[in-house]
Structure 1
């Protein structure tokens, strides 16, 4: 019977790892649909940024209470996984608390993990209250209705269930040790379960305790394997992607815009006296496809921008700081990232079904993100400053606006007037060049 459990557990583990690796490959493929970009410069600065922002949660402290609660969940997630390693070994080889030979150190380590588990449990309950009872404003935006709201709650419910199962498992384990049950190593009571769950279980029979301990053990590890594979479909993918996202984040000044290589090449062609823009390609020569000015779809964005979309935590800090959104405009930087990810996933489904990309007649701009949203942006960079993991919604907004202006001539009238004035008068205002210095008088 014991071997059947081990075989079943091993098969489940192999399937979970296979399914997770399958999703990771799909994730990498989808991100590579974007244009390549060199973000391997200044490696020392990039490692520092990742250590400070992702590992050290350096930007969370702007809002102290959520930062403390998130810190408990974050540290708990990282360290409690050490106990999960023990559970995995026990599940494969049929052992029980294989690291128990460490004696007092092991007991202290599990006790510390239990403290983190309790703090994680309390934090998740508070987060649920904030979202569903207090109803913090930034969680009530239109883009958060339906799946985004449910997804956030599902994760918190899972975290609560995992921590309860862990503490109950340890309490039942301790009670079985006191009864001298076979296969249960003598480690003694643990710090939290010793007073929280063990007292409620100590009066039960050995058989009942074994059933409770096994149910909690299986629930805890199967739940974690399910959670691992749920990540791809959830905003909580940032648990993994926050690290590469911060490493590849923009190190240039936030207000510095990049030049479009496609525009630069066109200008060079116009300035080259030896270039013939009307030259007919030689027979058999490959005809270059003209580059798009700006971005109309996810294929025109770069890989880091697509990584940003997958990494978005949907926390809404960007939207809550956006002056356009605060004043009632349609723009929500969070929605920009969510829409980009939705488009990326829709493209991914077509590739999965057809084996290759086939145009579905849709674009990111207009079909997913409206021009009204894009032109509401003031380019103030409040969203990029507020993001706790260095996501850059502004770069996507700028690239989409460039497409509207340079490919579709769809700029607002006020902007068209300004650009005409600059072209004709060398100034944004509508008066003759001779009158430009009249203000001095």
Structure 2
């Protein structure tokens, strides 16, 4: 019987690893569709930002209670699953609590910490479910935000319920295991006197007091299998879910833009033309070649701005896969608040949906797959793009440094520079800037006439 369980476990482990590996390859290939950009500078500053923002949840603590809950569910779930290492080795080797005899003095303490965190994760997941479906926090409701369709809401519920069930399985498995140890049943008796009752699960032992030995062994095995297979299924599911940020949140913050939030990156091709027209020296690198704002030599211009995901930068595509769909960007967006169709969260969700559509095409037709769709127009409309005021509120609000504005600007540049689709009021402004060096239709020589009028009043 034991050997059959080992074979089944190893088979499940291999299948999970294979599937996750394939998904990682597809997602990595999709991210690499984006244009190259150097994000390896200032490694020390990037590491510090990652520790503060990604692990420390710095931005979440603008609301201390919510920040604490997010930290518990994020860090707690990761730390609890350190126990998975022992479970995996037990499954492969056919052992039971492999580490217990070797680290007996600290083993109960470690499991106690895991159980405290498990209770924390379970509690916070229940609270988050209530916030979404009982309190109905505004940014999660489809009546207010059209991107919150059935799937995003179902996805969130699946993850929260799965985490609750996994934590319950972990705690009740420990409790049933303790009862079997107390009764001296089978191989469980080998740990009598070595492993005591655990901090939290000892209070669940009365639930199993009326179980027969056979029923108790059956429950212990079911809870053990449910916990580990649930984690394997969770790991696979996450690669399709918004909760992919569990894995991508750290690199996404590490590679985020270190420049001041108000600084908008220029297009080096346009900068060169302006410098030439004004008789200014063209910005060059150390070898005399033209460089962009990051000091990198730009590739040959294919198009101005971006029409589809291939025209965006790779970091934009990583941003899309890292998006938690929390809606803080949209809740902070003044355009959205005033009833306009722009939702920064939808921009990120649409970018990810477009990447997923391309991945499905790869699976069916190979990596040379092309279709006649594009991110612009098929997913994101001109009305959404034109509503953006570039105020950076969405960038500041994101808890993992995602930048929806960068995607908006690149798509808008394509519409203006490639399709000449700027609104009439914008064209008037562009003309004034070109001719008068200001957005207003006044000659530079008349710009300070208002000051003379002020002096006359005095």
Alignment TM-score, normalising by the size of structure 1: 0.93
Q: CA contact under 8 A between 2:56 and 2:71: conserved in structure 1? A: no
Match of 2:19 in 1: 19
Q: Which residue of 2 aligns with 1:188?
A: 196
Q: Is the 8 A contact 1:350 1:357 kept in 2?
A: no
Cα separation, partners in 2 of 1:266 and 1:432, compared to 1, 3 Å: closer
May I ask how many residue pairs the two structures share in their alignment? 425
Tell me, in whole angstroms, the C-alpha distance in 1 between the residues paired with 2:247 and 2:166: 19
Return 232-241 or 59-68, whichever deviates more: 59-68
- Give the aligned partner of residue 147 of structure 1: 151
Is this contact kept in 2: 1:165–1:220, CA < 8 A? yes
- Pairing 1:318–2:329 present: yes
Structure 1 gaps of 5+ residues are 273-287
For residues 359 and 28 of structure 2, what CA distance do their matches in structure 1 show?
11
C-alpha distance in 1 between matches for 2:368 and 2:381: 24
Counterpart secondary structure, 2:96:
coil
1:322·1:383 contact (CA, 8 Å) conserved in 2? yes
Say whether residues 1:260 and 2:267 are aligned partners. yes
Structure 1 partner of 2:123: 122
Query: For the residues of structure 2 that align with 1:358 and 1:218, how far apart are their CA atoms?
Result: 40
- Secondary structure of the structure 2 residue equivalent to 1:176: helix
Structure 2 gaps of 5+ residues are 280-298, 453-458
CA shift digits 1:38-85 (9 cap, x unpaired): 000111101111111111111110122221111111122121112111
Asked whether the equivalents of residues 120 and 163 of structure 1 are also in contact (C-alpha less than 8 Å), the reply is: yes
| Correspondence 1:134 to 2:135 | yes
C-alpha distance after superposition, 1:15-34 (max 9, x if no partner)? 10111111111111000000
CA distance in 2 between partners of 1:345 and 1:270 (Å): 43
- Paired position in structure 2 for 1:276: none
Measure, in 2, the Cα distance between the counterparts of 1:402 and 1:318: 22
Q: Deviation of residue 267 (structure 1)? A: 5.5
The structure-2 alpha-carbon separation of the partners of 1:267 and 1:440, relative to structure 1 and needing over 3 Å to count, comes to closer
Deviations, residues 111-141 of structure 1 (Å, cap 9, x unaligned): 1111111111111001000000100001112
1:357, distance to aligned residue in structure 2 (A): 3.6
Asked whether 1:291 is paired with 2:292, we answer no
Asked if structure 2 preserves the Cα contact closer than 8 Å seen for 1:262 and 1:291, the reply is no
Counterpart Cα distance in 1 of 2:27 and 2:41:
24
* Correspondence for 1:247: 254
Cross-structure match for 2:107: 106
Whether contact under 8 Å (2:55, 2:75) holds in the other structure is: no
Distance in 1 separating the partners of 2:67 and 2:213: 43
Partners in 2 of 1:302 and 1:350 — Cα distance?
Answer: 21
2:395 corresponds to 1:384: yes
The one of 172, 176, 198 equivalent to 1:172 is 176
**Alignment equivalent of 1:344, drawn from 355, 360, 364:** 355
Aligned position for 1:37: 37
1:347 CA displacement: 1.6
Q: Are residues 1:200 and 2:207 paired?
A: yes
Aligned to 1:61: 61
Closer, same or farther in 2 for the Cα pair 1:119/1:289, shift >3 Å?
closer
Counterpart Cα distance in 1 of 2:67 and 2:368: 41
In structure 1, what is the Cα distance between the partners aligned to 2:232 and 2:219?
Answer: 20
Residues 324 and 378, structure 1, Cα contact 8 Å, conserved in 2: yes
Q: Distance in 2 between matches of 1:264 and 1:7?
A: 63
Give the Cα separation in 1 of the matches to 2:223 and 2:3. 19
Over residues 212-257 of structure 1, what are the superposed CA-to-partner deviations in whole Å (9 max), with x where a residue is unaligned?
0000000000000000111111000000001110010000011111
State whether residues 295 and 402 of structure 1, in contact with CA within 8 Å, keep that contact through their aligned partners in structure 2.
yes
Decide which moves more: 72-81 or 216-225. 72-81
* Conserved? CA contact 2:305–2:412, under 8 Å: yes
